Structure 1
Amino acid sequence: MSTEILFDLSFYLAFPFWALMILAPTWSVTRRVAASPLIVLPSLAVNLVLMVPLIADFWPVVTSPSLAGLRALVGSPPALAALWAQIIAWDLFLGRWIYLDSRERGVHPLLMGPVMVLTILLSPIGLPVYLLLRLAYRENSGAEPASREAQGRTMA
């Protein structure tokens, strides 16, 4: 399989999970699917297909990182595609956490849609945006279990 196809495949394998979390966030199937961290495995499989033949090139860069070493490594299209697949998998893992946390906190899906899209495109911006948004829901999530306990006591 060509490097270009594998590069594209890494995103296409992650896209259905993103689509569920963004377009159908309240659907019970979405919650069940996103509950598993295994959703990142397809993109990681692409990463491994690309990286394993280049492990001798990757090893020095990850064990003794340098900008020059990384620059030389990413000069190779298969190495760059492998790193891209790793980024796609990481973004999905992060998006999965954001999705699950936002559902637990009761953040409205219309607020979360743009945050999730931002996380797909630029996760170093999407994550801090979500963490700021999450602050507004801290009390909400903390009050919810207490209210349930109080309701349980009144009913008893």
Structure 2
Amino acid sequence: MTGFLFELTFLLAAPVWLLMIFAPAWRITERVAASPLTVLPLLVVWAVLAAPVAPELWTAVSSPDIDTFRDLVALANGAGAIWAQVIAWDLLLGQWMYREARRLAVPPLLMGPLLILTILLSPLGLPLFLVVRAVWSSRAPRRRTEPALP
């Protein structure tokens, strides 16, 4: 059961990622990516995986050190729960990146690879996106704050 839930975790997130990467201009993609509810199924999987290892999980997060964390991820449910948590937060991060890119009109051909990198290694995808975001923000036309003259 744990192996199935581990696999299910990514399968639940994949449709949102696929929409953001391959159909970024669809109205449904924008609605889906704007919703934080996309992670709820992942958090349900997390809860099912975390419940049997709740004491170990609590020890690992309330008094963190490498040995207690190693003990947690040595348990199948512990590793699965950490995986579900990572997938959920990466998805939220990817949704934010997608929305920012749309707001700034970053080309989908640039964002697609950045989103794929974020799926695989978000600690690399996020800083690269922040650079892209800074470049595109500096290119955006300045909005006037004073009223226009008649």
Does the pair score TM above 0.5?
A: yes
Which category describes the TM-score, using the shorter chain as reference length? Answer: over 0.9
1:61 lines up with 2:55 in the alignment? no
* TM superposition shift of 1:66: 0.6
* TM superposition shift of 1:138: 1.1
* Separation (CA, whole Å) in 2 of partners of 1:114 and 1:59: 36
* Separation (CA, whole Å) in 1 of partners of 2:41 and 2:58: 23
TM-score (norm 1): 0.90
Once superposed, what is the RMSD of the aligned Cα atoms? 1.8
Percent identity reads: 47
Q: Which residue of 1 aligns with 2:49?
A: 50
TM-score (norm 2): 0.94
Partner of 2:46, secondary structure, is helix
* Separation (CA, whole Å) in 1 of partners of 2:132 and 2:64: 34
Q: Which residue of 2 aligns with 1:89?
A: 88
Length, aligned pairs only: 150
* Separation (CA, whole Å) in 2 of partners of 1:33 and 1:54: 32
Q: Which residue of 1 aligns with 2:31?
A: 32
* TM superposition shift of 1:42: 1.1
* TM superposition shift of 1:153: 4.9
Contact 2:104–2:137 under 8 Å retained in 1: yes
Contact 2:57–2:72 under 8 Å retained in 1: yes
Query: 2:29 is matched by which residue type in structure 1?
Result: T
* Separation (CA, whole Å) in 1 of partners of 2:139 and 2:95: 21
* TM superposition shift of 1:61: 0.9
Contact 2:34–2:99 under 8 Å retained in 1: yes
1:127 lines up with 2:97 in the alignment? no
Alignment gaps of 5+ in structure 1: none
| Per-residue CA distance 1:56-104 (angstroms, 9 max, x = gap) | 1111111100101111111111110110011100110100000001100
* Separation (CA, whole Å) in 2 of partners of 1:32 and 1:77: 35
* TM superposition shift of 1:140: 3.2
Structure 1: 4+ residue segments shifted above 3 A: none
Q: Which residue of 1 aligns with 2:73?
A: 74
* Separation (CA, whole Å) in 2 of partners of 1:137 and 1:85: 32
Alignment gaps of 5+ in structure 2: none
